[in-house]
Amino acid sequence: MNVHRTGSPPGEPDPPAVPDTELAVETRGLRMRYGSTDVLHGVDLRVHPGEVVALLGPNGAGKTTTVEILEGFRRRSAGEVRVLGVDPDDGDEAWRARLGIVLQSWRDHGRWRVRELIDHLGRFYAPYATPRRPRPHGTDELLALVGLTDHAGAVIGTLSGGQRRRLDVAVGLVGRPDLLFLDEPTVGFDPEARRDFHELVQRLSGLEGTSILLTTHDLDEAERLADRIVILAGGRIVADGGAAELSRQVSGRSEIRYTRDGEPHVESVEDATGRVRELFAEHGAAIGDLEVHKVRLEDVYMTLVREFESGRRTEAPSELTEVAR
Ligand SMILES: Nc1ncnc2c1ncn2[C@@H]1O[C@H](COP(=O)(O)OP(=O)(O)OP(=O)(O)O)[C@@H](O)[C@H]1O
């Protein structure tokens, strides 16, 4: 790790951590190749200060790869990347102290107690305190925030899955980050733990202007939590917008399912009535099993996932490219 190549030495006030105009994350033309396989094909991603962005996509879309590059854990093959104004390849300890990272789960230190772990990890951030961001977070305040006050003295190995996840978040927040990464935060959760976790993230998003980038393959989770949804499929951004904006974009369309001479067909169209007239005019009695319904964002996303997974599609559907920036 390169220490102090950028940023201020420990103890000295940093320049305002994220000036209002500075993007928390900015990538241009980000590419990643593993061996001879390209998995990111020129990703342009922006996260504004205080914004909660969901990077949504099916398995293998490239979400973790993208986030690992942003966190400085993986070197990109090409493109420009700035995280809190710094190229992650040059990120020093002061830069790292401004990031919060919640990995899949905190598996170590099972015999430690909750409070001990938070106190211990917090001490690493103390040298990076600034007048604007006292570091670390006070342990009691942090445990209250994530709903673990009653378990402060508990041995970590005895926590339930949901409590463990709250601890993961506390670990991610102990350095009072400017930018928090949450990778697939609710994988393996039961519905109640999931709902609790969603409430927690909603509380965090108003906190101290912290920007949050979370990855998920669950549209419902993205809609619930994010100010903006960026859909990544096959290593490309295929849609980028607020949940309402994306839904509006597709809601004017309808899906028509029918058989023609026994062969199944599915079409997404704007003028369903006109298209049905056309089909009967052109093919008459050969058309059967006709169904028409309004397209929902979920339908478009599921179709997209199925098509990318089966290798049938490498580009975005037209109804979403219209909103991709
Ligand atoms: N270290 C690696 N070496 C080679 N290929 C890799 C490596 N890591 C990931 N890949 C491949 O890169 C592609 C993107 O993987 P990535 O883990 O970034 O996707 P993801 O969207 O996070 O998926 P998931 O939701 O399953 O975690 C996949 O095809 C994966 O097999």
CA distance 259 to 192: 42
- pLDDT given for residue 4 in this prediction: 29
* Mean pLDDT value across residues 11-27: 64
Atom of ligand 1 nearest to the CA of 215: 22
Residue 163 lies in a domain: yes
The tally of CA atoms less than 13 A away on the side-chain side of residue 146 is: 25
pLDDT 10s digits, 30-61:
999 999 999 999 999 999 998 999 999 888 88
Q: What is the per-residue pLDDT for 31?
A: 97
Check whether residue 195 and residue 122 sit in a common domain.
yes
In this predicted structure, what is the pLDDT of residue 311? 67
* C-beta 73 within 6 A of ligand 1: no
Residue of 45, 59, 68 with the most ligand 1 atoms within 8 Å of its CB, for mutation? 59
Q: Is 59 in the pocket of ligand 1 (CB under 6 A)?
A: yes
Higher pLDDT residue, 10 or 290?
290
CA dihedral 244, 248, 249, 251 (to 10 degrees): 130
What ipTM describes this predicted complex? 0.95
- 164 and 304 share one domain: no
Distance of CA 232 from the midpoint of ligand 1 (Å):
12
How far apart are alpha carbons 325 and 313 in whole angstroms? Answer: 20
Considering the domain architecture, whether residues 307 and 193 belong to the same structural domain is answered as no
Same-domain pairing of 196 and 220:
yes
51 and 153 belong to one structural domain: yes
Domain annotation covers residue 234: yes
pTM passes above 0.80: no
**Domain-located, residue 128:** yes
Whether 6 maps to a domain, the answer reads: no
State the average pLDDT over residues 252-275: 89
* 128 and 48 belong to one structural domain: yes
User: Atom 12 in ligand 1: which residue has the minimum CA distance?
Assistant: 39
Report if residue 323 sits inside a domain. Answer: no
**Mean of pLDDT values over 232-250:** 84
User: Poorest-confidence range of 70-74, 106-110, 146-150, 169-173?
Assistant: 106-110
Please tell me the total count of domains within the chain: 2
CB of residue 216 inside a 6 A radius of ligand 1: no
Q: Are residues 237 and 268 in the same domain?
A: no
| pLDDT category of residue 92 using cuts at 50, 70 and 90 | very high
> Would you state the structure tokens that stand for residue 23, as one six-digit string?
């993007």
Question: Does 61 contact ligand 1 (Cβ within 6 A)?
Answer: yes
Mark whether 115 and 232 lie in a shared domain. Answer: yes
Clarify whether residues 173 and 305 are in a common domain.
no
**Does 169 reside within a domain?**
yes
Position 14 in a domain? no
- Are residues 182 and 294 located together in one domain of the fold? no
Q: Please name the residues in contact with 9: beta carbons below 8 A apart, sequence gap of 6 or more.
A: 94
Residue 261, domain extent? 246-312
Same domain, 191 and 266: no
